[in-house]
A and B are shown apart, each in its own frame.
Chain A
Amino acid sequence: MESLDIGFDPGPRLEPAAANFGYLEVLNRSGRTAQRFPITAAGLTLGRGFGNDLILDDPFVCPQHARIIWNGEGLEVHDLGSVNGLSIGSVRLRQEGCHLPSGTSFRIGRTVLRYLACDAPLLPTKLDRDASGPQRWLGKAGVLGLVYLLTGSALALQLYFDSAEKFQSSMLATSLVMALSFGLVWTSLWSFVNRTLSHRWNFGIHSGIACLGLFGALALNTLTGYACFSLGLDPWHLYLSYGLALILVWWLVFMHLRLTAAGSSVSLIRTSAIVGVLLVGAAVLVNQSLEEDFSQTPEFQASLKAPGFKVRGSLTPTAFFEDAGQLRDRLKP
């Protein structure tokens, strides 16, 4: 669910006399509200002079430039005989007034202003991601502890299965410290971004996401190896690894962004995809640049697992060497 409907209902309409007549907003260059001033029954004078209700520090605005008044039915804006006049859309007013419905923007000098009545519709209230989605589980100490434990165990298991030597606690410690250091840097980075954008660190949740990412990387790496062995996909191993890495990074960045940024899910998915492609693309380029153009030794990808995991059938030697005939074409200059 993207948004809640809170705020769509403006509530009972207030009588203008009982409250103010709305707000005059000074907009910045990107069209966002920079300042907001209440309009009372007495109206509002605008100009560069210090005697105005709203002083506009704009050299193209006259000392007494315009006035906003209540005519009994609504608000009007009047030009007070200014040098540059007053523009509403493409209409320029000089020494005359104009009705000002809610939502109307007008320009004085080079300053753009907008009038909004008290009952002007508001944008829907955005969802605070801290309080929703799967991340909220990572905010619980028990779940977070479990994620840490799961990732640490996966790392230790990976180390155990990758070694044909007797267990060495120093190797495990080194591996854990390296993973922890990388995780800390990654988590701190995202927490800092989170703090900058939404005034919260969310360090625990970001660390949980990072742990899940590491766990996913370990699991995907293992699964890719077994899939390549079982199904004979060795020639595709590299592409499969890059593809899965892209999906993992995409998911990881999306989870961090969802907690950090206020954009819609679609825009976050799009941003995560771009970041994922950039990161994995950079990794591919770095790998390729590190590879030598020429190698004296044969370089090949050949996964090897226990015979019980083999699913693909075997070729006869004759069939294998008949297939090998294509190597001649591959070697042609």
Chain B
Amino acid sequence: MAGSVRWGKISRRYAAMVILGLGLAVPPGVLANGGETEQVYARFKDRVLQIQVLDLSSGSKTTIGSGFLVAPDGVVVTNFHVIAALINQPGRYRAEYVDQHGARGPLSLVNLDVVHDLAVLRGNGLTGRPLEVSGTVPEKGERLYAFGNPHDIGLTIVEGTYNGLLQRSLYEKIHFTGSINPGMSGGPTVNAAGALVGVNVSTAGNQLSFLVPARFVAALLAASDQTVDAPEAFSSLVRRQLLANQDQYLAPLLAQPFPTSVMNGYRLPGELASFIRCWGNTHPQEEKLYKVVFQSCATEDEIFLGDHLKAGGIRFNHEFFSTIQLNPIRFYGFLEENFSQPRIGFSGEESNVSNFACQTDFVANGSLDSKVVLCLRRYKKLEGLYDAFLSATTLVGPREAVQTSLGLTGVSFENALSFSQRYLESLHWNR
């Protein structure tokens, strides 16, 4: 209690300063936009909908998101991840829209783009003025307005700024500086004229948010014949899109030798492409009697397939271990324990992926001898897609070794083996 009294005094003392500070921190444009936000809200609020996915048994909503009209005859766009349950568990869920007046009606799936996290639906009995989808590209710093229904508390408009496209992302995304929160997924972000700039898709917190560019919406709408299909057909479409996508991003990587970086005399795969980022550090662990230098590389974004499954990621890490104090038996005993604990995590549940099947052997790549384990698992509902795990420990000296691990998600069997082989072949020992 004493603590709260003290805090009360302090808070009163500094309240005025904080309020003043906040006032100064507000960007000048906000104070100067002269009611533009109100106008944008008033003009376009009727074109935004809440999307609900309801459990057929209980009748309750299990997922909420946002969407918007793109055609006067009830065609709605939202994120794939908002309505993914309709495809992953057909027969268990249905989708509904709720407009700003509380009117609701059923939605049927028309088309989807799983790679860019988009879905097109048709609302029965839904009419209204659509948003303009022209693929507008704003200027950096231009004011944008994101619509959505955060946390199911009602339609909200969020101001923010356009900060260009993400430069190091495998999948093109707009960097939007504004607060997008859960429930706003699938909602539109428009410019002051009401033209669609992007679709709200994710956030990293602290006003760091991401949008799917409007051009992907335009492309998806152009490819949609607007016939409603069975969920099984969409599952097959997801599979085809994922297979095509992994071919598309892996082919350029496999077409040339992997770029490498040097770590303590070992040449190891480095930043293979602009969309892969590496981080590293050294841990001299005195109590552990050995030193470890590590580097960890990964793609920044993966494709959402379901609540517990993501695909399209490449992750790998290297750990260089060395010791002076440990004898070879103790050192390799430690490496054995480390080796058996995969350094790369995988998502997935028994309903959508199989267990891993593994193969172990000694592999010599030039002068570099290694103990290698390769494991693969199958996607149960998306035939032809696999996750792969490769781990290798070099066997070159009694007191130093490199342990490297690779994880690939949602790739074809052939690409899994080709990429893993290329990865292993790019390991070299310079001494």
Is A263 part of the binding interface, using a Cβ–Cβ cutoff of 8 Å? no
Is B345 part of the binding interface, using a Cβ–Cβ cutoff of 8 Å? yes
Contact A164 B398 (CB under 8 A): no
Interface residues of A in 286-333 (CB under 8 A from B): 293-308, 310, 312-318, 320-321, 323-328, 330-333
Q: Which residues of the partner chain B approach A298 to less than 8 Å between Cβ atoms?
A: 342, 346, 356, 358, 373, 375, 377, 389
Interface residues of B in 320-377 (CB under 8 A from A): 323, 326, 328-336, 339-340, 342, 345-350, 354-365, 369, 371-377
Q: Which residues of the partner chain B approach A318 to less than 8 Å between Cβ atoms?
A: 421
Partner of A163, one of B330, B389, B424: B330
Is A161 part of the binding interface, using a Cβ–Cβ cutoff of 8 Å? yes
A55 and B313 alpha carbons, distance in the complex (Å) = 94
Contact A164 B336 (CB under 8 A): no
Contact B342 A307 (CB under 8 A): no
Interface-located stretch among B131-139, B214-222, B283-291? B283-291
Is B413 part of the binding interface, using a Cβ–Cβ cutoff of 8 Å? yes
Is B66 part of the binding interface, using a Cβ–Cβ cutoff of 8 Å? no
A318 and B417 alpha carbons, distance in the complex (Å) = 10
Query: How extensive is the interface on chain A, given as a class?
Result: 35 or more
Contact A305 B332 (CB under 8 A): yes
Is B404 part of the binding interface, using a Cβ–Cβ cutoff of 8 Å? no
Is B151 part of the binding interface, using a Cβ–Cβ cutoff of 8 Å? no
Contact B362 A317 (CB under 8 A): no
Known contacts A162-B333, A327-B374; decide if A310 and B362 are in contact (CB<8 Å): yes
Contact B329 A235 (CB under 8 A): no
Is B395 part of the binding interface, using a Cβ–Cβ cutoff of 8 Å? yes
Partner of B288, one of A164, A225, A235, A307: A164
A165 and B323 alpha carbons, distance in the complex (Å) = 11
Q: How far is the CB of A208 from chain B (nearest CB, A)?
A: 28
A307 and B332 alpha carbons, distance in the complex (Å) = 9
Contact A331 B357 (CB under 8 A): yes
Contact B349 A310 (CB under 8 A): no
Is A216 part of the binding interface, using a Cβ–Cβ cutoff of 8 Å? no
Q: Which residues of the partner chain A approach B287 to less than 8 Å between Cβ atoms?
A: 165-166
Contact B350 A294 (CB under 8 A): yes
Is B420 part of the binding interface, using a Cβ–Cβ cutoff of 8 Å? yes
| Chain B interface, DSSP helix/strand/loop, else mixed | mixed
Q: Which residues of the partner chain B approach A139 to less than 8 Å between Cβ atoms?
A: none
- Scan A114-130; emit 1 where CB is below 8 A from any B CB, else 0: 00000000000000000
Q: Which residues of the partner chain B approach A293 to less than 8 Å between Cβ atoms?
A: 350
Contact A321 B356 (CB under 8 A): no
Known contacts A320-B363, A331-B357; decide if A302 and B350 are in contact (CB<8 Å): no
Known contacts A234-B360, A293-B350, A294-B355; decide if A300 and B329 are in contact (CB<8 Å): no
Contact A306 B331 (CB under 8 A): yes
- Scan A47-84; emit 1 where CB is below 8 A from any B CB, else 0: 00000000000000000000000000000000000000
Known contacts A164-B331, A314-B362; decide if A304 and B356 are in contact (CB<8 Å): no
Q: Which residues of the partner chain B approach A43 to less than 8 Å between Cβ atoms?
A: none
Contact A327 B342 (CB under 8 A): no
Is B397 part of the binding interface, using a Cβ–Cβ cutoff of 8 Å? yes
Contact A331 B342 (CB under 8 A): no
Partner of B365, one of A307, A317, A328: A317
Q: How far is the CB of B415 from chain A (nearest CB, A)?
A: 12
Q: Which residues of the partner chain A approach B376 to less than 8 Å between Cβ atoms?
A: 324, 327-328, 331
Is B43 part of the binding interface, using a Cβ–Cβ cutoff of 8 Å? no
- Scan A220-256; emit 1 where CB is below 8 A from any B CB, else 0: 0000010000001011000000000000000000000
Contact B421 A317 (CB under 8 A): yes
Query: How extensive is the interface on chain B, given as a class?
Result: 35 or more
Q: Which residues of the partner chain A approach B375 to less than 8 Å between Cβ atoms?
A: 298, 300
Q: How far is the CB of B30 from chain A (nearest CB, A)?
A: 45
Q: How far is the CB of A293 from chain B (nearest CB, A)?
A: 7
Q: Which residues of the partner chain A approach B330 to less than 8 Å between Cβ atoms?
A: 160-164
Contact A304 B335 (CB under 8 A): yes
Partner of B398, one of A295, A307, A313, A327: A307
- Scan A141-164; emit 1 where CB is below 8 A from any B CB, else 0: 000000000000000000011111
Partner of A323, one of B349, B355, B361, B420: B361
A175 and B417 alpha carbons, distance in the complex (Å) = 44
A332 and B365 alpha carbons, distance in the complex (Å) = 30
Q: Which residues of the partner chain A approach B380 to less than 8 Å between Cβ atoms?
A: 333
A323 and B361 alpha carbons, distance in the complex (Å) = 10
Is B393 part of the binding interface, using a Cβ–Cβ cutoff of 8 Å? yes
A300 and B362 alpha carbons, distance in the complex (Å) = 15
Contact A164 B289 (CB under 8 A): yes
Contact B397 A295 (CB under 8 A): no
A144 and B361 alpha carbons, distance in the complex (Å) = 43
A165 and B326 alpha carbons, distance in the complex (Å) = 9
Interface residues of A in 79-135 (CB under 8 A from B): none
Which 10 pairs of residues, A with B, have the shortest CB-CB distance?
A164-B334, A314-B364, A298-B375, A304-B336, A294-B350, A306-B328, A300-B358, A314-B362, A298-B356, A307-B395
**A-B contact sample (18 more), CB < 8 A, given A164-B326, A232-B362:** A164-B333, A164-B334, A294-B350, A299-B355, A302-B371, A304-B332, A310-B395, A314-B362, A316-B363, A317-B421, A324-B359, A328-B376, A328-B413, A331-B354, A331-B376, A331-B377, A332-B378, A333-B378
B residues contacting A by CB (< 8 A) are 287-290, 323, 326, 328-336, 339-340, 342, 345-350, 354-365, 369, 371-378, 380, 386, 389, 393, 395-398, 413, 417, 420-421, 424-425
Of the A-B pairs whose beta carbons lie under 8 Å apart in the complex, a sample of 23, sorted by A's number, is: A161-B329, A163-B334, A164-B288, A165-B287, A166-B289, A232-B361, A295-B356, A298-B377, A299-B355, A299-B358, A300-B360, A301-B360, A304-B336, A304-B339, A305-B329, A314-B361, A320-B359, A320-B424, A321-B420, A323-B361, A324-B376, A328-B376, A331-B386
A residues contacting B by CB (< 8 A) are 160-166, 225, 232, 234-235, 293-308, 310, 312-318, 320-321, 323-328, 330-333
